[in-house]
Chain A
Amino acid sequence: MDFEDTPDEAAWRSTVRSFIEEHRDELGQRRDQRSFDDVVSRQRQALLYDGGLVGVTWPVEAGGQGGTPMQQAIIDQEMSRAGVPGLINLIGIGMCGPTVIHHGSDDQKDRYLKRLLRADDIWCQLFSEPASGSDLAALRTKAVQTEDGSWRISGQKVWTTLAHLADYGIVLTRTDPDVAKHRGLTMFVVPMKAEGVTVRPLRQMSGGADFNEVFFDDVVVPDSERLGDVGDGWRVALTTLMSERLTLGGGGTEIGMSASTVAEHVARQIGGLSSDRQALVRQDFGRAYVDTLGIRYTGYRLLSAISKGAFPGPEASAGKLAGTKVARDLADLSVRLLGDDAAYAETADGSSSWQDAQAGLPGMAIAGGTNEVLRNVLGERVLGLPAEPRADKGITFKESIR
């Protein structure tokens, strides 16, 4: 057991650190979400890509460097340490790209992957629908093949992060309603500016609008944009979802709320409280901080296992469950420390960061698989508990929606 960098890791860390220092001004500083600018974000990602800091774990032929997850973790740590804002195309890198790598044609890989890493193109993932969120395979957006071999896609997707900025998306469609619901699905790459695609931003409870609903009205996609075989879309989607698991739960990433930022906030505020209030605040903060440490070091265990060649299994979702809980605890504590300002959407001096943060967190327990569904997966696949009975087994999709 050793937490120190190996010589290779130390050398890589120093490479990463000097690149960031050298480009400190161009990379910008992490600020609140309201100052987000997609053009600047794209430029930043292109700069990082050209410096070799985006997609290191991707194969060389896909535009990456065939590097290790530990190298990626070191990049994440150094970017976070330096306060460099996150990448704009995380969904593309974490989920869409790996799906193209595994299931795409050589032509698709050539056209898409490098541009995706440079943020020349932004990607989104079009899976969820109004009537099928957690029950993903119940989706209804259909794709019908025409005589010339191309496909016509019709239907509606929802909760699509970044669709309003995206150039491409991977879309999961139903191509055969007469077989069991998991068997009749097919995946495509769809250009988001194609005729018949309509994107409508959805404003969230936090006031932000990262999500969208997306309408497909007879959108024509050539057969060359299919990802994987016809009817094999569920297996293709599982590649995406397994990659997502690593993006969301791995490496001890903090969800929505950095414990060190909260610590600085608490340290600044606590002196003004009565001593018994201070003791209560320390109790709450201590409990939450212990949780963040547990999550961080469990992430390190996962990362160590992945470095030795293990593939992240469902147990990686434990980090998301624990992370969403502690993020809420920390946000609640932080907001309460504002005193009377906590009753307003922003403090008297105009900052809304804590109030915004707490409003973003209920969504985290739903996004990327609701916590309830993740608990089912962990319970059944890791603890070996019996499965929830299902009413849709052994029947076709058509029968299941009656």
Chain B
Amino acid sequence: MNFDLDDEQRDLASAAGDFLRGAASPADARAMLDSDDPAGAEPQPGRAALVSSGFATITVPEDLGGGGGSLLDLAVVAEQAGRVLAGPSFVGYARAAVLLAGDDDRLRALADGSTSYAVVDGDGPTLDAVGADRFLSLRGDDLVCGPGTVTTRAPMDPTRGLGQVSVSDGDVVATDARLRWDHALRVGRVVLAAEGLGTAARALEIGIEYAKERQAFGRAIGSYQAVKHSLVDVYVQIENLRSLVWWAAWAADQAPDELPLAAAAAKGAVSTTLQAAAETLIQVHGGIGFTWEHDAHLFWRRAKVDRFLLGDDVGAFDEVARLALAAAAAVEAESVGAAR
């Protein structure tokens, strides 16, 4: 067993971090909120820059213009994107790469940026619907791709490009596509969790920096156990989330049988962890923490919205429980069988 990133993945994360820090920041997320049309504003770095950087389409095969990389590669990049609240999400690219497998023309269009895809989950809010050219959705068991109409509302987090999509008739990309759809959704959950990992880790860092500087009653507030322990509890959650994200990404690449449990676990863990990280960030800052001027709420917005994307945390925990209980019942039945 070797449960660790390799040097290439570390280098990839570092290169992605350099690019993304230069191309997006919480200040951009704030500018979107402050714009006249938050729902329509384009998040940074934006689709064109993400695609031309090559990071967004790492999982598209090389001969079609992508990076030919693994989901784990994409996950370490997505973590860096989450740290700077970059948009659009890497989730859409990852899902589209799975859904369009076998459709070389559309995959090429995904990789060269000539078409922007968004994936529509029924009537719910669609991630990065704003600015998408084509929408992938499930009609019966057919995977279809076509244009659609996006209705936006006042966004909680404008970097997520949320909208309700009514899909027009489209081309059938694949029939009998239910399993592929489910797989793509799980891959999307892993990437969403990777972004949330980065967002939570950055929120913790900002909280720690402040707790070292801010003085109260004659000493730095981070020296008080009440503050210190809250930050440590978030740190512990983040480290466990990191393990779940890596495991789930590895499972998507190497052990598909483990992916349903791993993806649901990562989705559940990121929901609770990012929320705890964002709320702790606000709490550590005291009054400043809930002002409009402070960045804390930009992280908090991600937490509040991400929780509901690609199925909510309640559904994720329920799925984890069903899978674990089914496995346990099978063990039980086997031992009863053996006893006879």
Chain A interface (Cβ < 8 Å from any Cβ of B): 1-6, 9, 70, 259-260, 263-264, 266-268, 270, 279, 281-283, 285-287, 289-291, 293-295, 297-298, 300-301, 303-305, 307-308, 315, 318, 321-322, 372, 375-376, 378-380, 382-389
Digitize B231-274: 1 where CB-to-A-CB distance is under 8 Å, 0 elsewhere: 11101110111111011001000110000011001001100100
Closest A-B pairs by Cβ, 5 of them: A294-B240, A286-B317, A297-B243, A286-B321, A263-B328
Digitize B143-170: 1 where CB-to-A-CB distance is under 8 Å, 0 elsewhere: 0000000000000000000000000000
- Which chain A residues border B72 with CB–CB below 8 Å? 1
Cβ-defined partner of B219 (8 Å) among A282, A308, A386: A386
User: In the complex, which residue of chain A has the Cβ closest to the Cβ of B330?
Assistant: A267
Contact check, B331 vs A376: say whether CB atoms are below 8 A apart: no
Contact check, A282 vs B322: say whether CB atoms are below 8 A apart: yes
Cβ-defined partner of A376 (8 Å) among B4, B228, B244: B228
Q: Apart from A2-B2, A385-B211, A386-B223, what 10 extra A-B contacts exist at CB < 8 Å?
A: A5-B1, A263-B325, A282-B325, A289-B320, A298-B242, A304-B2, A376-B225, A378-B235, A379-B229, A380-B228
Q: Given A1-B72, A282-B318, A301-B4, does the pair A385, B225 have CB atoms closer than 8 Å?
A: no
Bound-complex Cα distance A259 to B268 (A): 17
Bound-complex Cα distance A370 to B232 (A): 14
- Which chain A residues border B316 with CB–CB below 8 Å? 286
Bound-complex Cα distance A378 to B272 (A): 21
Chain B interface (Cβ < 8 Å from any Cβ of A): 1-6, 72, 208, 211-212, 219-220, 222-223, 225, 227-229, 231-233, 235-237, 239-244, 246-247, 250, 254-255, 261-262, 265, 268-269, 272, 314, 316-322, 324-329, 331-332
- Which chain A residues border B262 with CB–CB below 8 Å? 293
Bound-complex Cα distance A375 to B2 (A): 28
- Which chain B residues border A298 with CB–CB below 8 Å? 239-240, 242-243
Cβ-defined partner of B244 (8 Å) among A281, A297, A382: A297
- Which chain B residues border A268 with CB–CB below 8 Å? 332
Instruction: Decide if the interface of chain A is mainly helix, strand, loop or mixed.
Output: helix
- Which chain A residues border B327 with CB–CB below 8 Å? 263
Instruction: Decide if the interface of chain B is mainly helix, strand, loop or mixed.
Output: helix
User: In the complex, which residue of chain B has the Cβ closest to the Cβ of A260?
Assistant: B328
Q: Given A294-B269, A379-B228, A379-B229, does the pair A283, B317 have CB atoms closer than 8 Å?
A: yes
- Which chain B residues border A9 with CB–CB below 8 Å? 1
Bound-complex Cα distance A127 to B318 (A): 45
Q: Given A264-B328, A264-B332, A291-B240, does the pair A279, B4 have CB atoms closer than 8 Å?
A: no
Contact check, B246 vs A290: say whether CB atoms are below 8 A apart: no
User: In the complex, which residue of chain B has the Cβ closest to the Cβ of A322?
Assistant: B236
- Which chain B residues border A260 with CB–CB below 8 Å? 328, 331
- Which has the most chain A C-beta neighbours within 10 Å: B72, B227, B241, B320? B320
Contact check, B219 vs A295: say whether CB atoms are below 8 A apart: no
Contact check, A286 vs B241: say whether CB atoms are below 8 A apart: no
Q: Given A263-B325, A268-B332, A270-B325, does the pair A2, B1 have CB atoms closer than 8 Å?
A: yes
User: In the complex, which residue of chain B has the Cβ closest to the Cβ of A388?
Assistant: B223
CB distance from A83 to the nearest CB of B (A): 11
